[in-house]
Amino acid sequence: MPTKAFIHGNPLIGLYVRAWDEVAIMGVRDERLREMLEEELQVDVLRTTICGSELVGAMVAMNSEGVAVSKNVSEKELRKLERNLDVLVLETEITCMGNVIALNDHGAIVHPEVDDKLILQISDFFGVEVIRGTIGGIKTVGMSAVVTNKGALVNPNANQWEMKRIEEALKVEPVKGTVNFGSEMVGTGVVANSKGYIAGGDTTGFELGVIEEALGFL
């Protein structure tokens, strides 16, 4: 049965958690959520704030190579991350790296205003080709999509050109959908990796079916 969750009564679980195939980072103290992540995504769970915020889903970008954070990460947070992961600290005023990068182990799409220097650093660290783009006309691509190595759920307003770019860059077939009873910012409402997913608590049965199709669980 599909798993759904709230965090502090909030269905926007993708704002609080960022996961990949071996590790999930969560910004809140919630033992039930930790157990759900361990069971559904089969990951080790690291709890920490990032840049002083519980919204780690918005703050970090991840693939199998490690995690990217902004220079505003604290020393304590950085030490905690580095005990578990390889970490790229980006010298940028952009704090929410999870908002501006959508990636998997095959490629990455970034906010169209990210500069060339950052793109080179992101490409080198994550070991992927990086392109600029939008998803559904939205520049914060990390919250306009949910991307794994098996699939991608994307903003329902994504046009044909964007869908083709996503497929070419990330090497997965994107599927349009919504979460939490119609939210178009699908990255705010789903936490996923190639082994499982958790959806926001307001997600409907129809939306769950689309998520499972998009992320390769059907």
Q: Hey, where are the domains in the chain?
A: 4-214
Residue 152 scores a pLDDT above 70: yes
R_g (Cα) of the chain, nearest Å: 15
Work out the pLDDT band at 218, boundaries 50, 70, 90. confident
Q: What confidence tens digit (pLDDT) does each residue in 161-212 have? A: 999 999 999 999 999 999 999 999 999 999 999 999 999 999 999 999 999 9
Q: What's the pTM?
A: 0.97
Model pLDDT for residues 67-114, shown as the tens digit of each residue:
999 999 999 999 999 999 999 999 999 999 999 999 999 999 999 999
Residue 13 DSSP one-character state: G
Nearest to 149 by CA among 48, 32, 52, 20: 20
What local confidence, expressed as pLDDT, does residue 2 receive?
75
Q: Pairing between strand 107-110 and 101-103? A: antiparallel
21 pLDDT above the threshold of 90: yes
Q: What was the pLDDT predicted at 1?
A: 63
User: What share of the chain has pLDDT > 70, as a percent?
Assistant: 100
- 164 vs 114: CA distance, rounded Å: 21
Mean pLDDT score across all residues of the chain = 97
| CATH fold of 4-214 | L-arginine/glycine Amidinotransferase; Chain A (3.75.10)
